[in-house]
Chains A and B, each alone.
Chain A
Amino acid sequence: MHLQVQMLAATGSEAAIAFVEIGVIAVGLSFLALIAGRFGITAVPLYLIAGLAFGDGGIVDVTASSDFVSLTAEIGVLLLLLTLGLEYSADELRTGIRTGVLPGLLDMALNFTPGVALGLLLGWSTPASVLLGGITWVSSSGIISKVLNDLGRLGNRETPTVLNLLVIEDLAMAVYLPVAAALVIGGTAADTALTVGIALVTVVVILWGGLTFGHLLSRSLTIGSDETLLLAVFGLTLVVAGLAQQLQVSAAIGAFLVGLALSGEAQRRTRHLIEPLRDLFAAVFFVMFSFQIDPRDLLPVILPALALAVVTALGKVATGWWAAGRAGVGRRGRMRAGTMLIARGEFAIVVAAIGASLTEGPELAALAAAYVLLTDAIGPISTKFADRLVRA
C-alpha cells in the first residue's frame, strides 16, 4: 500500500499532463462530432482537419506526444479494425466470397492500380506505392453506411450490391494489410517473400479457423455478463494483435481477424459494447495521425491528390455501375451505387499510418489526408445528386 502511494506520487505530474492533454483533445472532438452530426456527415474528415489545424505547423501548435496518447491512438486502430471485422457475420462473408469475386476484382483493377501507378510515377519505392494503392482502393464502410441511412437508400435495389462490395473489400484487406506490412518491413527479396508467406499463411489459418470454429469461441464468450464479454474480447484483441505484431503480420490485421472470427450472439453484443470504446480511441487515432502532418506539406500534394481523387472516383462509379447492372438495376440506380462508393475513410488512414516509418512516410500521410478529405466531399455530394447525372 505504502509502495503504491509512492509510485503514484512519482508519476503524478506526468499523469496530470496526460490527463489535461487527452481531456482537451476529447472535449474539442466532442464539439466536432456535434457539428458533424448537425450536417449529417461522419466525424472522420473533421477530426483530420482538426489535427491539421492544431498539430505540427498548424494554427496552434499543441504538443500531444506523451506515450499515453500515442498508445491510446494505437489501441484506437485495433478497435477500429476489430469493429470492421465485426461488421459482417461468417455467413455474409461466405456469401461474399462466393458471389462477389468478379466485382471485387474489377474494383481492385480500377481503384488499386491508379494509386500504385501514381506512387511509381512520383518516384516512390514499391512499398510506398503499394500503400498508396491501398489508400485509393477501399471505400469507407463507415461513411457509406451513414450516407445510405441518411439518404433513406437502405431499401433501394442497388444497395445490396454496394454492401456486398464493402464485404469483398473487407476480405481483400485481410490479405492486403499483412502483405503491405511485410513490404514495409522490407529486407532482401527473399526475406520479404518469406515474411509475406508467413503473413498470408497466418491469415488464412486464422480466417479458416474463425469461419469454422468461430461459433465455439463465440458461444464460450457469451456465457458471462456484458462486463465479462467486454473484457474478454478487449483482452483477446490485444493479445492476438500483439502476437501478430511479433510474427510481423501487423497488429491491425490481428484485431481485424478477431472481429471476423466472432459470430452470432457474441458478435451482436460485442458490437454494441465495443462501439463507444472504439469511438473514443479511434478519434484519438485520427487526430494523432493528422497532428503529425504539417499543413504546409499539403500544398505540394494537392494536385496529385486531386488527380487521384478524380480518377478513382470514376473508377468507383464504373465499378458500382457495372456491379449494380449485373443485379438488374436501372441506370439511375447504377449511378447511385457508383457515386455512393467514392468516399474513402478509416481504412485509407490506417493504411497510410502503416507507412509512417518509410522515407516517403510524411508525404504519404499528407497525400492520404488530402485525398480522403477530397473523396469525402465528392462522394456524398455527388451521390446525393446522382439521379440528375443520368437520364432514366
Chain B
Amino acid sequence: MADITETNLPGVGVRHEFVTESGQHVGVISHRGGRREILVYDRDDPDSCSMVVHLTEHDSRTLNELLGVSRVTDSLAAVEQQIEGLAIDWIPIAEGSSFVGRSIADGMFRTSTGVSIVAVVRDASTVPSPRPDFVFSIGDTAVCVGTDEGLAAVRSRLTA
C-alpha cells in the first residue's frame, strides 16, 4: 500500500493524501461534520487541486461500496454456487413476536419447513450455528437458509 500523509486542517477536519501507482496525487478531506471531499491534485501546480468532488455521508457510503465492488461480487458468486436453489433471508424478531423468550427447538423449523437457522445476529455480534436450545430475544435477527416457500413460512411464524 502507498504511504498516506495525514494533515490536520484546523476548524475543518483532516486531509489524507497519497500518490497512486500511476503517479497521480490524490487525497480525501474528512470534514468534522462527516462530509468528504475527493481531491485530484494538479500535475502542473502540485499545490492546487485540478478537481474536487464533494460527497455527503450518503455519497461516501455509495462510493465505498462501488470501490469494494469486485470483492463483493466475487464472494457473492461463490455463495450462490454453494447453495444453488436455496435462498437466504434475514428475519427480525420484533417486539410482539411469539418467539421472544422461546428457543429454536420450540419452533421445529427444520422438521416442518426444511429451513435451517444458520446464524443469529444479536446487537453487533453474530452467533453462528446457534444450538437448538438458543432462546430468542427482542431485536435478534435470524439468518435462515431454505427454499422460498420454506422461508416464507418461517418468516410468518417468527414475526407473528
Contact = CB atoms under 8 A, between A and B. Distances in A.
Interface stretch (B44-52, B71-79, B106-114, B136-144): B44-52
B29 interface: yes
A373 B52 CA distance: 30
Interface string A264-282: 0000100010000000000
A145 B45 contact: no
B49 A141 contact: no
A333 B48 contact: yes
Nearest to A84: B11
Interface stretch (B2-10, B118-126, B147-155): B2-10
A159 B9 CA distance: 8
B11 A141 contact: yes
A92 B37 contact: no
Nearest to B28: A155
Given A154-B37, A155-B39, A155-B52, A160 B47 contact: no
Contacts, number: 72
Interface string A144-163: 01000000111111111001
B11 A163 contact: yes
B39 to A, nearest CB: 4
A96, A141, A163, A272 interface centre (most CB from chain B within 10 Å)? A163
Contact of B46 (A152, A167, A330): A330
Taking residues whose C-beta sits less than 8 angstroms from the other chain, chain A's interface range is: 20 to 34
B38 to A, nearest CB: 9
Contact of B10 (A156, A163, A329): A163
B47 A87 contact: no
A87 B13 CA distance: 11
B45 A392 contact: yes
A383 to B, nearest CB: 12
A154 B48 contact: no
B52 A157 contact: no
Nearest to B39: A155
A158, A160, A268 interface centre (most CB from chain B within 10 Å)? A160
A155 B10 contact: no
A157 B27 CA distance: 11
Nearest to A332: B45
Contact of A333 (B9, B10, B27, B47): B47
Nearest to B38: A155
Contacts of B12: 145, 154, 163
B12 to A, nearest CB: 6
Contacts of A156: 47-49
Nearest to A165: B10
A154 B36 CA distance: 11
B45 A330 contact: yes
B32 interface: yes
B39 A92 contact: no
Contact of A167 (B7, B10, B33): B10
A145 B47 contact: no
Interface in B31-75: 32-33, 37, 39, 41, 44-49, 52
A42 to B, nearest CB: 15
A164 B37 CA distance: 20
A166 interface: yes
Contacts of B29: 154-155
A332 B48 contact: yes
A20 to B, nearest CB: 37
Nearest to A93: B10
B48 A92 contact: no
A344 interface: no
Given A155-B15, A155-B52, A88 B10 contact: yes
A329 B37 contact: no
A92 B33 CA distance: 17
A92 B47 contact: no
Given A330-B47, A333-B47, A155 B37 contact: yes
A316 interface: no
B45 A333 contact: yes
B11 A332 contact: no
Contacts of A88: 10-11
Given A330-B46, A333-B45, A160 B9 contact: yes
Nearest to B48: A156
A30 interface: no
B88 to A, nearest CB: 39
Nearest to B41: A155
Contacts of A268: 32
Interface of B: 7-12, 15, 27, 29, 32-33, 37, 39, 41, 44-49, 52
20 contacts: A88-B10, A89-B10, A96-B10, A145-B12, A152-B52, A154-B29, A154-B37, A155-B29, A155-B41, A156-B49, A159-B9, A163-B10, A163-B12, A272-B33, A330-B45, A330-B46, A330-B47, A332-B47, A333-B48, A387-B45
Given A95-B10, A167-B11, 8 more contacts: A92-B10, A154-B9, A154-B29, A160-B15, A163-B10, A332-B45, A332-B48, A387-B48
